[in-house]
Amino acid sequence: MRRRIVITVAVVLVAALGLGATLWFGVIPHWRPALESGERYGIDVSAHQGEIDWDAVADDGISFAYIKASEGQGWVDEWFEENWAGAGRAGLDRGAYHFFTLCAPGAAQAENFLAVAPPDDDALPPVIDLELTGNCSERPPADDVAAEVDAFVRAVERAWGRDLLFYVRPDWDDVYPLREGLDRRLWDYRFFRRPTDERWHVWQVNTHARVDGIDGPVDLDIMREGED
């Protein structure tokens, strides 16, 4: 009897694991939530995606792309120029984003970003990416970080003449609370769940999506109408 129970449990576990793998690798990467009025699909990319067939991306129902431009005070994404040009040729709306680091002055980071992504009236609003994952190991005091973020924001918004869009991951907000008092629109990350914060302009739906023209996973986003 005991042996039969063990075998039954093993079979159930194997079946559950198989179902989970099917969902994760076969269903979830291809699932897209239904669009509501005024919404459209997009992606965000960086050098991690390598070479992209932007025409195939556009043909897969994607109408905009946020493209990583820079990080810190000196790093530039090696694929930015090619991705920017390719997305434009394919007819996608384009925006640039900067990964903000804790180990470089905000003004210097703004200078780096603006050198790569100068003001462009035809582009989507620029983005500051705030997250601790992949950031440097330093954890300066909250007031110091707030001052450096503010320096970056002021410099970029002055140059572009437009408000930045803020991508704020929960891990950042846990250590350096920002969202509650923020008077800017958000690029919100919520895995498959619609944002509840009414300030959201872009919703990052899935970080393991599959889109034609890209080898491997990519971030899937939804943008809703609003002043760019």
Contact 79, 48 (CB under 8 A): no
Query: What's the pLDDT score for residue 26?
Result: 55
Distance of CA 172 to the CA centre of its chain: 14
Mean local confidence (pLDDT), 138-142: 94
Domain assignments of the chain as residue spans, ordered by start: 1-30, 36-224
Mean local confidence (pLDDT), 15-32: 57
Name the CATH superfamily housing domain 36-224.
Answer: Glycosidases (3.20.20.80)
Mean local confidence (pLDDT), 184-191: 93
